[in-house]
Structure 1
Amino acid sequence: MTERETVLLGEFKEKIDKLIRRCETLKSENYRLLEEQVQLQDQIRLLSSRNEELAERNEQLKFAKSLLASDGQSHDARIKINRIVREIDKCIAMLNK
């Protein structure tokens, strides 16, 4: 083998070693990114679940608030009914005398 071929072979080996190191670096980075992807997907699932829970809770609170608004009206209605019942009781008591 000539000196030139030896030099070319040495350069070729260096380039192959460099490519192998680069490949290993990329493999480890790829592995790290895959792990990060899994973590982020888990986080997305958790946040989606939490979002659904909060949306459901929001609907429940809206419903409860609407009941409270009508509950105030029903409270007034109960007071009127109780007053009417007392008046009827008084009338019955007068009729019984």
Structure 2
Amino acid sequence: MSESRIDIVFRLKAKVYRLISICDGLKEKHDQSLLRIAELEKALAAKEKEVRGLMNENEKLKLAKAFSSSDDSKEAKVQISKIVREIDKCIALLNK
């Protein structure tokens, strides 16, 4: 009977070591996932910054086009109105 208890203890010990090994593997995988997430967040922030820059450049090009073409005065008026609204918003924020 004592021999079967020893066998049980050895099997239990083997299972505990196996669980520890699995846990260590999962911790390593988790750490790698956290690093990957950080890399992806950094890349996303860079892309968002690039998109904002391109959108700003696009607005500048639209404005330049509107002012450069004399036959498209409607577009120029729209752009001027948009700029005036943005200036009004800035003034309102400064007055608060």
Task: Please confirm whether the aligned pair reaches a TM-score higher than 0.5, indicating the same fold.
Answer: yes
The structure-2 alpha-carbon separation of the partners of 1:53 and 1:26, relative to structure 1 and needing over 3 Å to count, comes to same
Structure 2, unpaired ranges of 5+: 74-96
Scaled by the length of structure 2, the TM-score of the pair is 0.71
Structure with larger RCO (C-alpha < 8 A, sep 6+): 2
Task: Find the residue that maps to 1:70 and give its secondary structure.
Answer: coil
Give the root-mean-square deviation of aligned CA atoms: 1.9
> Which residue number corresponds to residue 46 of structure 1?
46
TM-aligned CA deviation for residue 67 of structure 1: 1.2
Give 1:20 shift: 0.4
CA distance in 1, matches of 2:70, 2:6: 95
- Counterpart residue identity of residue 63, structure 2: F
Task: Give 1 or 2 for the bigger CA radius of gyration.
Answer: 1
Structure 1 segments, 4+ long, off by >3 Å, are none
Q: What is the percent sequence identity of the aligned residues?
A: 27
**1:6 is aligned to 2:39:** no
> CA deviation digits over 1:32-62, x for unaligned, max 9?
0000010001001100100100000000010
CA distance in 1, matches of 2:71, 2:18: 77
5+ residue gaps, structure 1: 74-97
Q: Partners of 2:10 and 2:70 in 1: how far apart?
A: 89
